[in-house]
């Protein structure tokens, strides 16, 4: 795979995302813009994410990271630009549409109901049923078994039938990630998954991200933590004031450069 | 009934090295407030039975069970709303409005062409009464789930509306059942089934159906999910609005059914029927282990909570304690139940 970092779109070709080979592009954003009244939250954003690629999205508060995430996740439509998923033009009018298309968001708070079991959380909104005549009853056994399988795949010591209330931060992350594995998501957007957990749990989460990548799932990691992005991502995208100011391979960049890009000390790279 | 609430057996214990299983007496039903209150209920019942000699007579036991069955029936509906993290203060007024409207309709249908249809003079008023209560619940649910008003304020307003309408309709006069099917109405609402009062049978059937539904359907699971983390339920694609509306409808429906049963028991639907029931119902649910913060509760708790209140009330009457002490003692029990649960969960 060949990546070329792009600061400016090549004028002759108009707006063009990163030069991934077409067949390996999972998601493409072309010239995405979003305005809230007079505020321009996103401006001419181009981005391509490859199959099984882990992309770090960095930027200061208000740089447009969460707006971009919400556009991709279908929380609101972009004001300009197009989204392509596996080459096909898509419009997501609500989050469920994006999820059905294979884009899952892992929220900072993990969207977990603490009073339910791990398995119930993994299958929340997608329960398995058995039919007894006209009755559609929950298939507890099948859900527990499948959830246990997913936790085993993720190498997480999480018991499917335990209540989440008693679980550690790392186990909770595993529950949220198992949910994306269950949905066979193509792209997982992670919003600050490592912001409020312990050092050991951060290591667990990064390991889970690597497993997702190895199984062919693409990940977009939104993070403030430089070490996390540099240890797990293939590529880093930096945003400032609603624009993309850098899109580079991790190997071709450095924490110092990214810091400069975030703060504006370096204009673009 | 325990079969209904048994968890699916764990497939295999994977034998994790650093995560131990929660000890058995703090897991599942045994780890819940409902279990502690059930234990308290048994002890208090035995205590009352030994202290008051005439407590265990068949008549007294049947009386107690009928007395609490009305509160328990509404508590079942209330528990559903409380599980979603809501509350319904309008239940007492809905009970009265449904009872009164059903009685008025019985009179109207008798004088209308519908009276020619067999059973219509009985079925139509009851069905219309239940539909009315479900409609009130639907309005509550729409206001809370779709418009986003606070459940407390919405249902407080609805309490006043329904109680007001009840007085408007009756002008303060009691409404007796009437028409050609009065005897059948009384036997459906206040008869005996296998020696048990009808209201107790309704309560037991509703409790079992609810227990099964909460545990074994998506709807039941979604109720708990909404109460535990509504935002998470929204994000995982649970139809939160729809489920919440259904919860308020079910709660109102249980109040409506109770109203019709009460009209049969009393032989009349007075305008002040079920006055103040909302607080007794909420007290019963909370004593039984429903958490007003949402996400916790069940039919066993609703029934045991109602029964506990009634046993204490009955014990005090048999013990010739001044009746004015009853409410004070019930209040003490409410706070104790919540306090014990608080102390117990803090130890973990």
| Tens digits of residue pLDDT in A209-267 | 888 888 888 999 998 888 889 999 999 999 988 888 989 898 888 888 888 888 888 88
Contact: A116, B14; criterion CB under 8 Å: no
Contact: A136, B233; criterion CB under 8 Å: no
Q: What is the pLDDT of residue B95?
A: 97
**Residues forming a β-bridge with A54:** A219
**Domain presence at residue B19:** no
CATH of the domain at B208: 1.10.3470
Listed residue (A149, A143, A168) closest to B7, CA to CA: A143
**Average pLDDT rounded to a whole number, residues A97-108:** 85
Residue B216 with chain A: CB contacts under 8 Å: 137-138, 140
Length of chain A counted residue by residue: 269
- Average pLDDT over chain A reads 84
Q: What is the CATH number of domain A1-102+185-269?
A: 3.40.50.300
Give A98 to chain B, closest Cα distance, Å: 11
| Residue A221 vs residues A218, A236, B167: alpha-carbon distances, Å | 10, 9, 62
Each domain of chain A, given as residue ranges in start order, spans: 1-102+185-269, 112-183
Q: What is the pLDDT of residue B22?
A: 64
Q: Which residue segment(s) compose the domain that B336 sits in?
A: 33-346
Contact: A95, B14; criterion CB under 8 Å: no
Range name among A172-186, B60-74, B89-103, B145-159 with the lowest pLDDT average:
A172-186
Contact status, residue A22 vs residue A51, Cβ threshold 8 Å? no
More confident residue, A213 or B208: B208
How far is the C-alpha of A93 from the C-alpha of A96, rounded, in Å?
8
Q: What is the pLDDT of residue B348?
A: 47
The Cα angle at residue B195 between residues B192 and B199, in degrees rounded to 5: 45
**Average pLDDT rounded to a whole number, residues B141-169:** 96
Examine the pLDDT at B98 and tell me if it is beyond 90: yes
Which of residues 256 through 295 in chain B touch A, CB cutoff 8 A? 295
B220-279 pLDDT, tens digit per residue, is 999 999 999 999 998 888 899 999 999 999 999 999 999 999 999 999 999 999 998 999
**Domain presence at residue B28:** no
Q: What is the pLDDT of residue B4?
A: 45
| Residue A87 vs residues A22, A51, B52, B248, B267: alpha-carbon distances, Å | 8, 12, 81, 46, 72
Which of residues 16 through 75 in chain B touch A, CB cutoff 8 A? 16-19, 21-22
Best mutation target, B31, B216, B291, to test chain A (most A CBs within 10 A): B216
A7-59 pLDDT, tens digit per residue, is 444 333 333 344 565 557 899 999 999 988 888 889 888 999 998 899 999 98
Both tokens of A128, joined, read 């398995």
Is residue B222 classed exposed, middle or buried when 0-12, 13-18 and 19+ CB atoms within 10 A define those classes? Answer: buried
Listed residue (B274, B278, B243, B242) closest to B260, CA to CA: B274
**Domain presence at residue B215:** yes
Contact status, residue A50 vs residue A1, Cβ threshold 8 Å? yes
**Average pLDDT rounded to a whole number, residues B157-173:** 95
Confidence of residue A2 (pLDDT cuts 50, 70, 90): very low
Share of chain B above pLDDT 70, in %: 90
Helix, strand, or coil here: B62?
helix
Residue B225 with chain A: CB contacts under 8 Å: 113, 116, 120, 124
Examine the pLDDT at B97 and tell me if it is beyond 90: yes
Give A225 to chain B, closest Cα distance, Å: 25
Examine the pLDDT at B121 and tell me if it is beyond 60: yes
Q: What is the pLDDT of residue B26?
A: 64
> Torsions phi, psi of A108, nearest 5?
-55, -40
Strands (E), chain A: 25-36, 39-50, 54-59, 80-85, 88-90, 103-106, 129-132, 135-138, 187-191, 218-222, 235-240, 243-249
Confidence of residue B151 (pLDDT cuts 50, 70, 90): very high
Kindly give the pairing relationship between strand A187-191 and strand A103-106.
parallel
**Average pLDDT rounded to a whole number, residues A155-183:** 86
Examine the pLDDT at A108 and tell me if it is beyond 50: yes
Contact with chain B for residue A236, Cβ under 8 A: no
Kindly give the pairing relationship between strand A39-50 and strand A25-36.
antiparallel
Residue A179 with chain B: CB contacts under 8 Å: 236
How far is the C-alpha of B178 from the C-alpha of B122, rounded, in Å?
10
Contact with chain B for residue A120, Cβ under 8 A: yes
**What is the ipTM metric for this complex?**
0.84
Work out how many domains chain B is built from and give that number: 1
Contact: A179, B236; criterion CB under 8 Å: yes
Instruction: Out of A99, A110, A145, name the one closest to residue B11 (CB).
Output: A145
Confidence of residue B346 (pLDDT cuts 50, 70, 90): low
Element (H, E) at B278: helix B277-287
- Average pLDDT over chain B reads 89
Contact with chain A for residue B224, Cβ under 8 A: yes
Q: What is the pLDDT of residue A5?
A: 46
CA B69 to chain centre: 9
Q: Which residues of A141-167 are buried (b: 16+ CB within 10 A; e: fewer)?
A: ebbbbbbbebbeebebbbbbbbbbeeb
Q: What is the pLDDT of residue B9?
A: 46
Helices then strands, counting H and E runs in chain B, come out as: 14, 2
**Domain presence at residue B132:** yes
Contact: B22, A129; criterion CB under 8 Å: no
Range name among A169-183, A187-201, B118-132 with the lowest pLDDT average:
A187-201
**Domain presence at residue B26:** no
**Domain presence at residue B223:** yes
């Amino acid at each position: 795979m060949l990546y070329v970092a792009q600061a400016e779109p090549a004028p002759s070709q108009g707006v063009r995302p990163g030069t991934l080979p077409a067949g390996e592009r999972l998601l493409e954003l072309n010239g995405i813009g979003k305005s809230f009244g007079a505020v321009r939250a996103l401006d001419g954003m181009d981005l391509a994410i490859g199959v099984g690629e882990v992309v770090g999205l960095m930027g200061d508060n208000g740089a447009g990271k969460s707006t971009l995430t919400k556009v991709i996740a279908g929380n609101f439509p972009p004001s300009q630009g197009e989204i392509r998923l596996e080459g096909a033009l898509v419009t997501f009018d609500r989050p469920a549409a994006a999820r059905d298309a294979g884009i899952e968001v892992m929220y900072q708070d993990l969207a977990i109901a603490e009073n339910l079991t791990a398995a119930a959380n993994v299958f929340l909104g997608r329960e398995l049923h058995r039919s007894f005549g006209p009755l559609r009853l929950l298939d507890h056994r099948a859900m527990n078994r499948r959830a246990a399988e997913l936790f085993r795949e993720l190498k997480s010591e999480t018991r499917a039938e335990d209540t989440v209330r008693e679980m550690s931060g790392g186990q909770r992350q595993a529950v949220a990630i198992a949910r994306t594995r269950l949905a066979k998501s193509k792209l997982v957007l992670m919003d600050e998954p490592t912001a409020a957990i312990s050092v050991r749990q951060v290591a667990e989460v990064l390991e889970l991200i690597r497993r997702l990548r190895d199984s062919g799932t693409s990940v977009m990691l939104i993070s403030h933590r430089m070490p996390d992005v540099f240890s797990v991502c293939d590529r880093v995208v930096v945003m400032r004031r609603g624009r993309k100011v850098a899109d580079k391979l991790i190997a071709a960049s450095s924490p110092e450069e990214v810091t400069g890009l975030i703060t504006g000390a370096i204009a673009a790279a | 009934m325990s079969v209904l609430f048994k968890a699916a057996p764990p497939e295999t214990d994977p034998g994790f090295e650093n995560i131990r299983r929660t000890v058995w007496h703090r897991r599942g039903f045994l780890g819940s407030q409902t279990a502690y209150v059930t234990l308290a209920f048994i002890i208090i019942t035995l205590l009352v039975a030994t202290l008051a000699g005439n407590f265990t007579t068949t008549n007294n036991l049947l009386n107690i069970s009928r007395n609490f069955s009305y509160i328990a029936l509404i508590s079942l509906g209330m528990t559903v709303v409380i599980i979603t993290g809501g509350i319904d203060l309008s239940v007492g007024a809905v009970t009265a409005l449904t009872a009164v409207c059903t009685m008025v309709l019985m009179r109207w249908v008798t004088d209308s062409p519908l009276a020619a249809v067999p059973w219509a003079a009985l079925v139509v008023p009851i069905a219309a009464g239940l539909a009315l209560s479900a409609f009130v619940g639907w309005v509550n649910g729409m206001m809370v789930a779709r418009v986003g008003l606070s459940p407390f304020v919405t249902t407080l307003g609805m309490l006043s509306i329904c109680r007001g309408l009840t007085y408007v309709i009756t002008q303060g006069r009691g409404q007796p059942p009437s028409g050609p099917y009065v005897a059948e109405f009384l036997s459906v609402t206040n008869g005996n089934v296998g020696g048990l009062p009808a209201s107790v049978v309704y309560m037991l059937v509703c409790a079992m159906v609810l227990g099964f539904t909460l545990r074994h359907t998506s709807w039941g699971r979604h109720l708990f999910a909404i109460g535990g983390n509504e935002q998470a339920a929204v994000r995982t694609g649970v139809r939160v609005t729809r489920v919440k509306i259904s919860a308020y409808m079910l709660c109102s429906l249980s109040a409506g059914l109770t109203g019709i049963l009460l009209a049969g028991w009393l032989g009349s639907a007075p305008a002040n029927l079920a006055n103040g029931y909302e607080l007794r119902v909420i007290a019963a649910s909370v004593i039984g282990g429903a958490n007003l913060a949402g996400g916790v509760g069940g039919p066993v708790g609703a029934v045991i909570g109602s029964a506990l209140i009634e046993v204490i009330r009955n014990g005090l009457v048999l013990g010739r304690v001044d009746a004015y002490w009853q409410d004070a003692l019930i209040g003490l029990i409410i706070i104790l139940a919540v306090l014990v649960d608080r102390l117990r969960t803090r130890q973990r």
